[in-house]
């Protein structure tokens, strides 16, 4: 690859979340030239700081004689972000470029377009960023009729049909697990990493059977640590099974007898796949980054 | 009350928990002379710091010509405390003075006796301090055959019969609520205080119906805050109803058709009573401090 090819980006794909910023300068044929990672997430920035955070990262791709388009999804479009990109409302296809909001930018060498998130009024729910992954999954599997699970701090289950987002539900599961393992009394009992599949699966089944006892099952990890020297990796696997088992059972009507796609990184996607496996469901796992890029490319086609 | 009466304690009752230390110098007739509160809880102290924390608080009651007995319950007897007071094991009566462990003390003017906690091996569970409240509740209601609920960071449900602790279960409920309201994304949505009873009760019923959706119901508070300006006091009442509703349903077999006693401070005891009320249960509330003191007095009788 010549230096020329390296620095001539046709456009830039961007995923600007709460805690991270990812940029992919793209060739004209929608091939990423590289990936730029930054920790300047929305949560670290004041409104006037977004442009200043972005420009140094893109400097090699900027030129005074043309305007570089940046197409961005994620929390940068929230009320606390660069500029609010109003939500589309379900049922709807994943938002396209036509619905993007132009971010105010002093530097005339670039034009930043932020894609809207999606809201659902009843029951109330919101997403920002995941709608672009849905667009990507649908670009890669246009006939998909089923549910897409997007695991994360706030895991989303999105029902799709005929290219549209029908409805979705968000679970605080990932954040709950982080709080329990880092800030609760269980921090003494849970290993920081490690995962035992058989224990995890048994714990999924256990919590599906006795969901109300959730907070008791959690405390039992502490008590077994004190009285029975419970192995911390086993404790972590159980805690993880309890939170995920609850969630997949709650979504039963969405995944039963339907296609299930999980969009996520290996470890977390694998845990959700294993949890669904306890219920006889074989889910297809799609790579989160590939799907995000496919979604931004799909939106770009309508530019 | 003369100064003489004020400073001549027959013994001292002590509740030494993780975050607090409470002392009641007692008259010979088991009337408390006063209450001394300190924030030198077990969690703030190294092993060698307990004596130094205690003596200045008791100095007015100490005399070189006699030994003052201090009878103590709580986390001071844990492995990380002053000295480990080995657990009694269920089924058992609440531990008495005969089972107390003498704490090492350089000052010969006092003798500190720490009451054991209680453990249950199957399912594994532990308590330290609550066993003394059980002793107090049984001293005040000797015929009690039913379940005692002790709300707190780690709420305990203790089944008692014929003066014995039969079995018990601990729920991480209080800690879960604190983590959610102070450290999760919900901190933006929940009021720091305030409680709407009708909302709380409806949320108890809701989560009993759909327990698996717990983490989704929690996220809905955030989403309704964003989309529908959900009142933060209502949001807090709902979150509280979700965590308590789960717990009381899990304990149904313990409270159904049995006497139910709640030992706790007004606000939290009232919330548990309201949650049980949604299931047609009328619980009797007993004051936590009175019950702790009655329990220490009951143990002292066997001194």
Q: What is the ipTM of this complex?
A: 0.94
Q: CA-to-CA distance for A250 and A231, rounded, in angstroms?
A: 29
Q: Are residues A20 and A95 in the same domain?
A: yes
Q: Taking residues B182-186, what's their average pLDDT?
A: 95
Q: Does residue A11 surpass a pLDDT of 70?
A: yes
Q: Taking residues A269-290, what's their average pLDDT?
A: 97
Q: What is the pLDDT of residues A180-203, one digit of tens each?
A: 999 999 999 999 999 999 999 999
Q: Are residues B121 and B30 in the same domain?
A: yes
Q: Does residue B74 surpass a pLDDT of 90?
A: yes
A262-A266-A267-A270 Cα dihedral, nearest 10 degrees: 40
To the question of pTM greater than 0.90 for the whole model, the response is yes
Q: Are residues B19 and B114 in the same domain?
A: yes
Residue B5: pLDDT band (50, 70, 90) is: very low
Per-residue tokens: A116? 């809207």
Task: Give the range among A4-18, A98-112, B258-272 with minimum mean pLDDT.
Answer: A4-18
pLDDT of residue A301: 85
Beta bridge partners of A262: A149, A285
Q: Taking residues A156-179, what's their average pLDDT?
A: 97
Q: Within an 8 Å CB–CB cutoff, is residue A175 touching chain B?
A: yes
CA separation, residue B57 to residues A137, B52, B53, B80 (Å): 67, 9, 7, 22
CA distance between the termini of chain A:
27
Q: Taking residues B50-77, what's their average pLDDT?
A: 96
Q: Does residue A117 surpass a pLDDT of 70?
A: yes
Count of C-beta atoms within a 10 Å radius of residue A102: 11
Q: Which residues contact A268 (CB under 8 A, 6 or more apart)?
A: A151, A152, A174
Q: Which residues contact B120 (CB under 8 A, 6 or more apart)?
A: B89, B90, B126, B167, B168
Give the rounded percent of residues in chain A with a pLDDT score beyond 70.
97
Residue A5: pLDDT band (50, 70, 90) is: very low
Q: Taking residues A220-226, what's their average pLDDT?
A: 97
Q: Within an 8 Å CB–CB cutoff, is residue A121 touching chain B?
A: yes
Q: Quick check: is B248 in a domain?
A: yes
Q: Does residue B65 surpass a pLDDT of 60?
A: yes
**Nearest-CA distance A39 → chain B (Å):** 19
Domain hosting residue B64, numbered range: 3-128
Q: CA-to-CA distance for A167 and A160, rounded, in angstroms?
A: 8
Q: Which residues contact A229 (CB under 8 A, 6 or more apart)?
A: none
Q: Which residues contact A240 (CB under 8 A, 6 or more apart)?
A: A177, A195, A200, A203, A271
Count of C-beta atoms within a 10 Å radius of residue B194: 13
Q: Quick check: is A300 in a domain?
A: no
Q: CA-to-CA distance for A148 and B46, rounded, in angstroms?
A: 51
Residue A303: pLDDT band (50, 70, 90) is: low
> Is B154's CB within 8 Å of A185's CB?
yes
Total of domains in chain A? 2
Q: Does residue B136 surpass a pLDDT of 90?
A: yes
Q: Residue A126 is nearest to which of B124, B215, B226, comparing CB atoms?
A: B226
Q: Taking residues A22-49, what's their average pLDDT?
A: 95
Residue B225 C-alpha from the chain's centroid: 33
Q: Residue A214 is nearest to which of B208, B210, B214, comparing CB atoms?
A: B214
Q: CA-to-CA distance for B250 and B254, rounded, in angstroms?
A: 9
Q: Quick check: is B303 in a domain?
A: no
Among residues A128, A162, A193, the one where a domain terminates is: A128
Q: Quick check: is B100 in a domain?
A: yes
> Is B123's CB within 8 Å of A249's CB?
no
> Is A171's CB within 8 Å of B119's CB?
no
Q: CA-to-CA distance for B214 and A208, rounded, in angstroms?
A: 12
Q: Are residues B85 and B11 in the same domain?
A: yes
The helix/strand/coil state of A263 is strand
Q: CA-to-CA distance for B207 and B184, rounded, in angstroms?
A: 20
Output the average pLDDT for chain A.
95
Q: Within an 8 Å CB–CB cutoff, is residue A6 touching chain B?
A: no
Q: What is the pLDDT of residues A144-155, one digit of tens each?
A: 999 999 999 999
Interface test with A, best of B75, B77, B212 (most A CBs within 10 A): B212
Q: Within an 8 Å CB–CB cutoff, is residue B162 touching chain A?
A: no
For B87, what's the count of Cα atoms within 13 Å in the CB-facing half-sphere? Answer: 19
Q: Residue B184 is nearest to which of A179, A226, A247, comparing CB atoms?
A: A179
B239-B244-B247-B249 Cα dihedral, nearest 10 degrees: -100
Task: Give the range among A1-10, A75-84, A174-183, B94-103 with minimum mean pLDDT.
Answer: A1-10
- Cα Rg of chain B (Å, integer): 21
pLDDT of residue B62: 96
pLDDT of residue B7: 65
Q: Are residues A211 and A121 in the same domain?
A: no
Q: Residue B250 is nearest to which of A123, A180, A212, comparing CB atoms?
A: A212
CATH number, residue A94: 3.30.420.300
Query: Strands A68-73 and A110-114: what pairing?
Result: parallel
Q: CA-to-CA distance for B265 and B245, rounded, in angstroms?
A: 19
**Quick check: A95 and A118 in contact, CB under 8 A?**
yes
Q: Does residue A287 surpass a pLDDT of 60?
A: yes
pLDDT of residue B301: 85
Per-residue tokens: B133? 């409240």
Give the rounded percent of residues in chain B with a pLDDT score beyond 70.
97
Q: Taking residues B16-28, what's their average pLDDT?
A: 95
> Is A124's CB within 8 Å of B171's CB?
no
Q: Does residue B2 surpass a pLDDT of 80?
A: no
Q: Are residues A194 and A276 in the same domain?
A: yes
Nearest alpha-carbon partner for B100 in B131, B77, B129, B133:
B77
Q: Taking residues B18-32, what's their average pLDDT?
A: 95
Q: Residue A124 is nearest to which of B175, B224, B243, comparing CB atoms?
A: B224
Interface test with A, best of B128, B214, B221, B244 (most A CBs within 10 A): B214
Count of C-beta atoms within a 10 Å radius of residue A106: 8
Matching residue, tokens 């729910």: A125
Q: What is the pLDDT of residues B236-290, one digit of tens each?
A: 999 999 999 999 999 999 999 999 999 999 899 999 999 999 999 999 999 999 9
Q: Quick check: is A79 in a domain?
A: yes
Q: Quick check: is A292 in a domain?
A: no
Question: What one-character DSSP code corresponds to residue A124?
Answer: E
Q: What is the pLDDT of residues B34-46, one digit of tens each?
A: 999 999 999 999 9
Output the average pLDDT for chain B.
95
Among residues A128, A146, A163, the one where a domain terminates is: A128
Q: Quick check: is B266 in a domain?
A: yes
- Cα Rg of chain A (Å, integer): 21
CATH number, residue B259: 3.30.420.310
Q: Does residue A267 surpass a pLDDT of 60?
A: yes
| Interchain CB contacts (distance < 8 Å): A and B | 126
């Amino acid at each position: 690859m010549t230096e020329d090819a390296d620095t001539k980006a046709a456009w830039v794909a961007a995923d600007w979340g709460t805690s991270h910023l990812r940029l992919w300068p793209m060739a004209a044929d929608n091939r990423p030239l590289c990936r730029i990672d930054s920790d300047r997430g929305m949560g670290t920035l004041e409104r006037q700081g977004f442009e200043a955070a972005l420009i140094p990262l893109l400097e090699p791709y900027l030129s005074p004689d043309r305007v570089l388009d940046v197409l961005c999804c994620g929390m940068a479009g929230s009320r606390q972000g660069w500029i609010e990109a109003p939500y589309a409302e379900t049922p709807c296809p994943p938002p396209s470029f036509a619905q993007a909001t132009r971010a105010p930018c002093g530097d005339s060498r670039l034009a930043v377009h932020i894609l809207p998130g999606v809201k659902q009024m009843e029951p109330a729910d919101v997403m920002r960023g995941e709608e672009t992954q849905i667009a990507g999954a649908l670009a890669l599997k246009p006939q998909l009729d089923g549910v897409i699970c997007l695991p994360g701090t706030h895991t989303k289950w999105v029902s799709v049909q005929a290219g549209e987002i029908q409805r979705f539900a968000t679970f605080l599961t990932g954040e709950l697990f982080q709080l329990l393992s880092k800030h609760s009394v269980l921090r003494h009992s849970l290993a920081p990493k490690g995962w035992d599949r058989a224990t995890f699966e048994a714990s999924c089944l256990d919590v599906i059977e006795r969901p109300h006892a959730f907070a008791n099952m959690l405390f039992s990890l502490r008590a077994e640590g004190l009285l029975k020297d419970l192995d911390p990796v086993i404790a972590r696997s159980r805690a993880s099974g309890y939170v995920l088992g609850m969630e997949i059972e709650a979504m039963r009507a969405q995944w039963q007898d339907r296609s299930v796609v999980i969009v996520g990184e290996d470890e977390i996607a694998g845990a959700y796949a294993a949890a669904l496996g306890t219920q006889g469901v074989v889910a297809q796992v799609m790579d989160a980054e590939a799907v995000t890029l496919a979604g931004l490319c799909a939106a770009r086609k309508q530019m």
